[in-house]
């Protein structure tokens, strides 16, 4: 079997795993199918790019498991009119998936080397509707607020207040909440005129959401 065929086979298997995990939204499945995960993993892990597992990236962080990316993205209910904020850009993979579903994506990463690398990858993939910056995502992105959707891909003890403030009325926010080294609960928050509604989506395990920029040697 050639390299291309092997990859097509792995990708088919991955889409099957996503469906089994409950990802049934065709737009989400399509976005994941069209996003080459191998671009966002480290060269040493490229052979496992389509395995349904998280993988280490630089700065001691991880690219999430594809089924978790699928479930979070599906829960976020992104439409082509949405302006989306992602906190914890990491490799840029989740932002690339969102870029195919949303009008505009803003993503923040506290490790500057990761932010630069993610930006470079997304540019090279032609995602002109994504802006990535290095910064503390717990502060949100006030210049671009309000957002229709906010996705946090690192675990906080509590929902960051500034992010809730930057969520539009009628907006949806998805984030893992809980002590970072234990199991966390994935939460979906809907904001309406009447207030906030919380739904628990299941248990997950993410790296911690840490306030302030990271100090990287580069
Ligand atoms: N969504 C990423 C994976 C996220 S891993 C992907 O698709 O690859 C979680 C990321 O959140 C890490 O890179 C970590 O550095 C980042 N992070 C943690 N706290 C943060 C904060 N306060 N602001 C911005 N990024 C943060």
Give the residue ranges of DSSP H helices in 54-148: 66-76, 93-99, 112-124
Which of 91, 98, 49, 55 lies closest to 75 in space, CA to CA? 98
Give pLDDT, residue 162. Answer: 98
Please tell me if the CB atom of residue 61 comes closer than 6 angstroms to any atom of ligand 1: yes
Per-residue pLDDT for the chain (218 aa), expressed as one digit of tens each? Answer: 457 787 889 999 999 999 999 999 999 999 999 999 999 999 999 999 999 999 999 999 999 999 999 999 999 999 999 999 999 999 999 999 999 999 999 999 999 999 999 999 999 999 999 999 999 999 999 999 999 999 999 999 999 999 999 999 999 999 999 975 778 999 999 999 999 999 999 999 999 999 999 998 75
* Separation of CA 2 and ligand 1 centre (Å): 35
CB 176 near ligand 1, within 6 Å? no
Q: How much distance in Å is there from the Cα of 85 to the middle of ligand 1?
A: 12
For ligand 1, the distance from its centroid to the CA atom of residue 87, given in whole angstroms, is 6
Cβ of 209 less than 6 Å from ligand 1: yes
Residue 5's pLDDT is 81
CA distance linking residue 18 with residue 159, whole number of Å: 27
Residue 92 near residue 121, CB atoms below 8 Å: yes
Gap between the Cα atoms of 82 and 66, Å rounded: 22
Q: Is 0.95 topped by the overall pTM?
A: yes
User: Between 66-76 and 26-34, two packed helices, what is the crossing angle to 10 degrees?
Assistant: 140
Cα 20 to chain center, whole Å?
20
Q: Which two tokens stand for residue 112?
A: 């500057």
- Please state, in angstroms and rounded to a whole number, the distance separating the CA atoms of residues 189 and 133: 25
pLDDT at 7: 84
DSSP annotation string for 181-201: TS-EEEEEEEEETTEEEEEEE
Mutational pocket test of ligand 1: of 37, 89, 100, the residue with most ligand atoms within 8 Å of the beta carbon: 89
* Spacing, Cα 5 to ligand 1 middle (Å): 33
Q: What is the dihedral of CA 188, 191, 197, 201, to 10 degrees?
A: -10
Closest C-alpha to ligand 1, atom 26: 88
pLDDT of residue 133: 98
- Contact predicate 50/17, CB 8 Å: no
Class of domain 3-204: alpha beta
Q: Is 73 in the pocket of ligand 1 (CB under 6 A)?
A: no
Ligand 1 atom closest to the CA of 137, numbered from 1: 23
CA atoms within 13 A on the CB side of 141: 26
Domain spans of the chain? 3-204
Rounded CA separation 132/183 (Å): 28
Residues with a catalytic annotation lie at 64
Sign of CA dihedral 214, 217, 205, 28: positive
| 181 Cβ closer than 6 Å to some ligand 1 atom | no
Q: Which residue has the tokens 């996705």?
A: 151
Quickly tell me which residue has 């970072």 as its tokens. 180
- The pLDDT assigned to 218 comes to 56
């Amino acid at each position: 079997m050639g390299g291309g065929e092997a990859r097509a086979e792995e990708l088919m298997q991955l889409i099957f795993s996503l469906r089994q995990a409950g990802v049934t939204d065709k737009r989400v499945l399509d976005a994941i199918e069209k996003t080459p995960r191998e671009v966002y993993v480290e060269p040493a892990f490229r052979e496992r790019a389509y395995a349904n597992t998280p993988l280490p990236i630089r700065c001691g962080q991880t690219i999430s498991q594809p089924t978790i990316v699928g479930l979070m993205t599906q829960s976020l209910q992104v439409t082509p009119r949405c302006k989306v904020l992602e906190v914890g850009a990491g490799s840029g993979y989740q932002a690339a998936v969102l870029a195919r579903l949303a009008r505009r994506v803003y993503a923040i990463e506290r490790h500057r080397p990761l932010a630069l690398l993610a930006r470079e990858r997304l540019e090279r993939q032609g995602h002109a509707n994504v802006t990535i910056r290095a910064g503390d995502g717990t502060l949100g992105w006030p210049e671009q607020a309000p957002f229709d959707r906010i996705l946090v891909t690192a675990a906080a003890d509590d929902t960051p207040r500034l992010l809730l403030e930057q969520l539009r009325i009628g907006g949806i926010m998805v984030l893992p909440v809980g002590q970072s080294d234990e199991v966390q609960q994935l939460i979906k928050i809907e904001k309406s005129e009447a207030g906030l509604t919380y739904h628990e989506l299941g248990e997950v395990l993410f790296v911690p959401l840490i306030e302030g920029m990271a100090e990287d040697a580069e």
